[in-house]
Chains A and B, each alone.
Chain A
Amino acid sequence: MDVNKNSYTFGFAAIMVIIVAALLSVAYIQLKPFQDRNVELEKKQNILSSVGINVERENAEAIYSTYIKRELVLNNKGEEVEGIAFDIDLGKEIKKDVNVQLLPLFISEVDGTTRYIIPLRGKGLWGPIWGFISLEGDLSSVYGAVFDHKGETPGLGAEINTPMFQEPFAGKTIFEGEEFTSIAVVKGGVTEGDMHKVDGISGGTITSVGVSDMLSERLTMYLPYFIKMKPVFEVDSVFSAMDSVTTVNDSIIN
């Protein structure tokens, strides 16, 4: 048999491609349910860890339902709308127009303390980055934050999923007085006592900037809800709450 004939070459290529395609398709379909399950459990694990509960992936399911009391879907006016918050794919949602975006919000109750968990999604250097940030009942102080990424450089940008990067977020605030400031990830050291900045990663500047942008973009979307909720917490300072409405609105317009 002459293996260098054109017809043989074409035949060989065609058969090889079909075999490889079939093999990979079967592998993909068979493994998909296992992979989806991993992703779902990891999301639950991440949501829990943003409120300080670290669990093994296998136990995430059961513990999730104990601590996460409510799951809301909001629109950008801060109103509750129909939907299942957990199933919202933020990757698709952030590509939509801001007026039709659905905003998931998870409310946890741990030892009697209510915290608000906001899912995040943005761009890193090589691909998407995401995370969850949990706010205290005052909707300004950060209780905890977790981040993860699809393919940031190991040792550099990928460090955003380590405690070294995440822990400094705790205790920061996203409002200065009544003005929304978000939290910036900065290069070259944060002065002590700065409530709105955390240290970036050496060699991971673009990923660090991505985290900054993601926080400010995502949190801004929830501002109308925060403003609506604020009077509930600050019943005794109705006037200052009303002031905050104008200030925050100004900051959105600017």
Chain B
Amino acid sequence: MSKDSLFSKKNIKLLSDPLNDNNPITVQVLGICSALAITVQLKPAIVMAISVMAVLAVANVLISLMRNLIPSRIRIIVQLVVIAALVILVDQVLKAFVYDVSKELSVFVGLIITNCIIMGRLEAFGMANGPWESFLDGIGNSFGYAWILIVVAFFRELLGSGTLYGYPVLENLGLYELGYENNGMMILPPMALITVGVIIWIQRMKNEKLIESK
């Protein structure tokens, strides 16, 4: 165990760093595939963010507990087995007890296995740090992933379908009567990439730590 208290400055940094300075999507550019696929609407994006959080936090702790036992030559396989087992377990439990949520997520539960952020954190953090730090790191990174996902989904759903969380916002505002039309481009994957690009642009404009020295 480390000598630090549970919420020492260093530990808090594990939570806050991935939100901005070391964001998994906008700075490390990991997990882009799922950011493109499920950000057409807010609802799947939010449920996906919660699922990733559960899997990442638990997997990071498990790997951290086993870190001194794992043979280094098969460590990636071990990480993958832990993630896959957790994801299948989550999927089966969802199907049995919250069938509607499971339907909502459909294939994307399975795709959590391939989310690079999870393996990246296990390899970079869980393998080298204690369980509590790993837990915080897992939660921090999934929040970093979640807020980007939700911001992208917000704009794509609003501009692409004119709804938010399924609620017809623009229709109720009466915009369509003024001749406004939804932008069909927004629901196609390329616009997710462009939206993420815009977020990265704004972030680098504001955050001086990210500006590369000449």
Contact = CB atoms under 8 A, between A and B. Distances in A.
Contacts of B70: 3, 12
Interface in A150-167: 150-156, 158
A13 B77 contact: yes
Contact of B106 (A8, A28, A158): A158
B184 interface: yes
Interface of A is mostly: helix
Interface residues of B, number: 33
A42 B106 CA distance: 15
Interface string A70-83: 00000000000000
Contact of A156 (B40, B68, B78): B40
Interface string A23-56: 1100110010011001000100000000000000
Given A155-B161, A203-B187, A28 B92 contact: yes
Given A12-B69, A153-B37, A155-B161, A203 B184 contact: yes
Nearest to A154: B44
B97 interface: yes
B40 to A, nearest CB: 3
A31 B106 CA distance: 18
Interface in B11-44: 37-38, 40-41, 44
A246 interface: no
A254 interface: no
B96 A155 contact: no
B38 A154 contact: yes
Given A17-B81, A24-B89, A27-B89, A4 B96 contact: no
A23 B85 contact: yes
B71 A202 contact: no
B10 interface: no
Contact of A35 (B41, B89, B96, B157): B96
Interface string B50-86: 0000000000000000001111111001100100010
B72 to A, nearest CB: 6
B6 interface: no
Contacts of A31: 92-93, 95-96
Nearest to B93: A31
A211 B15 CA distance: 46
A20 B187 contact: no
B73 A9 contact: yes
Interface of B: 37-38, 40-41, 44, 68-74, 77-78, 81, 85, 88-89, 92-93, 95-97, 99, 104, 106-108, 157, 161, 184, 187-188
Given A3-B69, A152-B106, 15 more contacts: A3-B71, A12-B78, A20-B85, A27-B92, A27-B93, A31-B95, A31-B96, A34-B96, A35-B92, A35-B95, A153-B40, A154-B38, A154-B106, A155-B187, A156-B187
